[in-house]
Amino acid sequence: MSSNSENSALMALNELQNLEADRVRQEEEARYAAAEAERRAREEAERIAREEAERRAAEEAARLEAERVQREALEREERMRVQEAEARARAEQEARLKEEQMRLDAQIKLSEEKAKPKWPLVVVPVLLLGVIGAGVAWYMSNEEAKREAEQRAAEKKEADERMAALMAKFDQLEADQARMEKERTALEAEMEAAKGDDAKQKELEAKLAALDAKLAENAEAQEEAEAKTGGSRKSSGGGKKKSSSSSSSSGSSSEAEKPAGRKKKVSLVDGDDPLGGL
């Protein structure tokens, strides 16, 4: 009888040990599953951020290439205008010189026909005055063409510098916007991982609110910069969608709306751009 009682006690103890081992194993499996889910979510967020960075880099490269092509086209047009102006000035000067030479030749011939002994006293001064006048006219025309070319070059350089400064400001604002959007994505991931921890949730929500305020300020700065230029910018995808974050252990959530997304880029060829014609 005593032996049976001992056997029963040992079996009950073994059963309890097995149940405890099962419970520990289930807890370990649950922790592993949660860690694996968090890892997959983190990898997915990194993949999305990497793809977004690559897309932005491709867009920036395309924009720079378009600007380079347009700048080269403007430079070619400017060179052609200068060459045409110089060619016109040379043609006009040659025509004036030819006309003056023909007139002088006619005067000399007429003087020779009249056979007046004093004709050199009249023809030579007239010839000298004609040559000097033609030279002065050619010089003034050439100088005017040079001044016009230099003025156009100076205006184009000034416009390029203003445009470069403007684009640099837009690029910096967009870079700040992209950086803060990545930070916001990371905060949302932390909030998702910290569900059930009220203190951590409140801390992350405060950080998220401060980041949203910075995003809004950055968006307003982009709008102000665009308003100062008076130009239009192409749409880059509109505003950002809202994202939900857990705010309490009871499962309540709050909607945090991101500020407007990246602003439109300045169109370098739009007719409304005050710098487009330079």
Residue 195: φ, ψ to 5°:
-60, 135
Task: Please state, in angstroms and rounded to a whole number, the distance separating the CA atoms of residues 66 and 64.
Answer: 5
Q: Are 236 and 174 in contact (CB under 8 A)?
A: no
Task: Please state, in angstroms and as integers, the Cα–Cα distance from residue 168 to each residue in 89, 238, 247, following that order.
Answer: 41, 22, 39
Q: How many CB atoms lie within 10 A of CB 199?
A: 8
Residue type, 158: E
Low-confidence stretches of the chain (pLDDT < 70) are 1-3, 113-124, 227-278
3-state secondary structure of 256: strand
Residue 230: the pLDDT is 56
Four-point Cα dihedral 198, 201, 202, 205, nearest 10 = -160
Residue 178: the pLDDT is 87
Q: N- to C-terminal Cα distance for the chain?
A: 110
Handedness of CA 222, 224, 228, 232 (dihedral sign): positive
Q: Which of 95, 236, 231, 78 is nearest to 150 (CA)?
A: 78
Structure tokens at 148: 């016009």
Q: Which residue has the tokens 């040990």?
A: 17
Residue 249: the pLDDT is 33
Structure tokens at 206: 């405060």
Q: Looking at the whole model, is its pTM more than 0.85?
A: no
**DSSP tally for the chain: helices H, then strands E:** 3, 4
Task: Please state, in angstroms and rounded to a whole number, the distance separating the CA atoms of residues 99 and 137.
Answer: 13
